[in-house]
Structure 1
């Protein structure tokens, strides 16, 4: 007899027996039954809609709508990342993506190149800041937002994208660009407040896999050049990898300090994060800048440094992410 056709009382009885053996509780068996029943209902409905609905349907779009509605009833940070968005996810965690190497911006209904990165496909092809992106692979992009255009321009390194650009009143310019692997630095700027200052400044834009290494390198370089105080800028930093947040705190506080704890439904998955290495510096005065765009890992870093009396927090109320 399949579990689908098994009487419910028997399912509960088996669950109770196994619970006595320490393997499964009645509650777990009940949940399993509910999951199985509802999956069967969903499968039947999904099949009926795709076969018999009066208009043609897209199975993929129907499934995405169902997934979005299900996750939309939960917290705002539980997301499904489809295969088509894998480049965006890779960029979020590594700072790397396959693309043409340019910043873009939207004005009115047009999208422009705001900065071609030196040494990458857009700059090497002769594309200028201010050029309008008119078409991508033959598709006109006027009216699209920057996210839509960005997805068209991104892709696997080594693949080709055809781009039509407009520059002033000149004739449209056609470019065949081969995408390259592009790495956006987590620390885009480091330096001193002025030429005679001993106050160093480090701007951290994100928490990818190289964030703590980049902050460490920037800090050591500034300290070697006479830095005596540090301004650490986390404004607009929406977060990233938790482990990197802990590693950055570890640069400034002693080994063994509690930074953050994670707790969830499954107690065995709860984790305590402590500093594991010897710090770079525990004495240099620090100010951490934050604003409404400082979220998640940024809030962990700033909060930990403040709670451990290692830094002063300055700026605006942070984003306030309830789940990190």
Structure 2
């Protein structure tokens, strides 16, 4: 009986191994078969299709379509996009240091990095590039423009520029250089005891920039810290680990990665002695805080090291690894998921369906698992980091949003700058009533067409009603309603005056101070910052939140 049993076990093992072997062989056969089909198909297309086929474009389209079936973060970088990839990884690139966007068909400078070649060369926000090195930009997209602007260090790029107030185009020559985009565009004391650090990215110098800002403010008397991660899309994992390390003990787990391939299963702990273990910290997040931002906010939350304020974060807990491919191309492929110290994964359960603003939305309780912080507070997985103090997001009025999206505020700020170039706004700058009156007059003459939801609903009603035979009989009754809506539109410029002034202030300040504009804006209307300041004044509440009481 034992002998028979032994033969059965051996037979079962042998059969299992054979089955596994068959599955692997079958998988590789399927790969080889489909690659052969694809190559044969392309060969026939290339030979027989009525028009010429661009092989680079065709292959890139097929690769993009294949990767789109996986997740949004697995990407292919062809040789001509490698420079963009390096910029994302290092925060550096060879260029002029200007961000140019396609604004209604014009290649318009929307931001300049302080001290960059563009800054030194006299380029201004609002300038429109029309030619680069004699090449017309008419009909060219942003990708093509970027390739023309970037190049080897110390080489010159000749620019033809259309500028407000200038009748003739300007000719400028700018020498390219290594441009470093700052991770911390702004830091400073909000009051005598509370420091503020705005972290916009996690490129190679993020941790050192945070440390420099923290130590400088601590030397100035900082007793509490506001760490602003709102809108930060993430970046390098090691920068997130090092920043967490500043505030948690050496040796503590920061993040763990788990994937299909064993070599990607790793635990990352704090490697150095912290710079502070006691200072109260408020971490600000919103739906735009992703990846490395979620590791920092989630890890500090898991160790009860700081109070997280704002809105649920984005929910990107996937690890990407880059793999070199042939012909100097790269594959960025998702290889694992992040797990923060409590054991939860911050990855959204469904990353293909999100709200319009990119946020995860509400995850059903049945799909969430409960984990616990160091002090025993319950926290949950299923999509991002939930704040300890949940605040409603600031939503701009429809009027303000359209004034921004249609470039009205941007263009007015450009005109204001060139008329007041030497009159630099100071701290806590707010547009005066006279300036706002001038803005309202500018809006009237700019051709700005503002259509609100009520007007859209009325237009839809009229469209549907016009199909009714009795429409002529009640058409006149809709006219008073349209008159009322027009009056409301005129009143909206006064109703939303304060928020429009805030946006005007930021746009005008950016003309003088670039991405440092935030340091000249008052935090009085920043809901999340004000909540942090209120919390720091009530330390029993701060400690109670972290204790889970």
**Scaled by the length of structure 2, what TM-score is found?**
0.52
2:179 and 2:242 map into 1 onto residues whose CA distance is: 24
Q: Residues 254, 89 of structure 1: CA spacing in aligned structure 2 closer, same or farther, 3 A cutoff?
A: same
The one of 174, 179, 182 equivalent to 2:179 is 182
Moved more, 130-139 or 245-254: 130-139
> Partner of 1:27 in structure 2?
23
The one of 150, 153, 158 equivalent to 2:149 is 153
- Is residue 200–residue 222 contact of structure 1 (8 Å, CA) maintained in 2? yes
1:290 and 2:290 matched: no
- Is residue 88–residue 203 contact of structure 2 (8 Å, CA) maintained in 1? yes
Structure 1 moving runs of 4+ over 6 Å: none
1:193 and 2:152 matched: no
1:162 and 2:172 matched: no
Measured after TM superposition, the shift of residue 142 of structure 1 is: 5.4
1:80 and 1:193 map into 2 onto residues whose CA distance is: 43
Q: Residues 143, 77 of structure 1: CA spacing in aligned structure 2 closer, same or farther, 3 A cutoff?
A: same
2:257 and 2:112 map into 1 onto residues whose CA distance is: 40
Measured after TM superposition, the shift of residue 240 of structure 1 is: 0.5
Q: Residues 282, 148 of structure 1: CA spacing in aligned structure 2 closer, same or farther, 3 A cutoff?
A: farther
> Partner of 2:314 in structure 1?
319
- Is residue 109–residue 144 contact of structure 1 (8 Å, CA) maintained in 2? no
1:158 and 1:306 map into 2 onto residues whose CA distance is: 46
Moved more, 116-125 or 142-151: 142-151
Note the 1:62-81 alignment, pairs <5 A. Answer: 62-81=58-77
Note the residue ranges of structure 1 that are not aligned, 5 or more in a row: 1-15
Aligned with 1:80: secondary structure?
strand
Aligned with 2:299: secondary structure?
helix
> Partner of 2:492 in structure 1?
none
Aligned with 2:293: secondary structure?
helix
1:61 and 1:145 map into 2 onto residues whose CA distance is: 16
2:184 and 2:300 map into 1 onto residues whose CA distance is: 19
Measured after TM superposition, the shift of residue 310 of structure 1 is: 0.6
Moved more, 129-138 or 144-153: 144-153
The one of 215, 228, 236 equivalent to 1:233 is 228
Measured after TM superposition, the shift of residue 114 of structure 1 is: 3.6
1:38 and 2:34 matched: yes
Moved more, 291-300 or 154-163: 154-163
2:142 and 2:226 map into 1 onto residues whose CA distance is: 32
Aligned with 1:42: secondary structure?
helix
Note the 1:1-324 alignment, pairs <5 A. Answer: 25-141=21-137, 149-167=145-163, 168-194=165-191, 197-324=192-319
Q: Aligned-pair RMSD on alpha carbons?
A: 2.2
The count of corresponding residues between Structure 1 and Structure 2 is 303
- Is residue 204–residue 236 contact of structure 2 (8 Å, CA) maintained in 1? yes
2:137 and 2:313 map into 1 onto residues whose CA distance is: 35
Residues 235-291 of structure 1: per-residue CA shift (max 9 Å, x gap): 111011111111111110011212211111112321111112111111100001111
1:274 and 1:135 map into 2 onto residues whose CA distance is: 51
Aligned with 2:87: secondary structure?
helix
- Flag the structure with larger Rg: 2
1:205 and 1:148 map into 2 onto residues whose CA distance is: 26
1:96 and 1:60 map into 2 onto residues whose CA distance is: 28
Q: Residues 313, 148 of structure 1: CA spacing in aligned structure 2 closer, same or farther, 3 A cutoff?
A: farther
> Partner of 2:482 in structure 1?
none
2:217 and 2:142 map into 1 onto residues whose CA distance is: 36
Aligned with 1:201: secondary structure?
strand
- Is residue 113–residue 181 contact of structure 2 (8 Å, CA) maintained in 1? no
Aligned with 1:238: secondary structure?
coil
Aligned with 1:129: secondary structure?
coil
Measured after TM superposition, the shift of residue 102 of structure 1 is: 2.0
Moved more, 160-169 or 36-45: 160-169
2:234 and 2:269 map into 1 onto residues whose CA distance is: 19
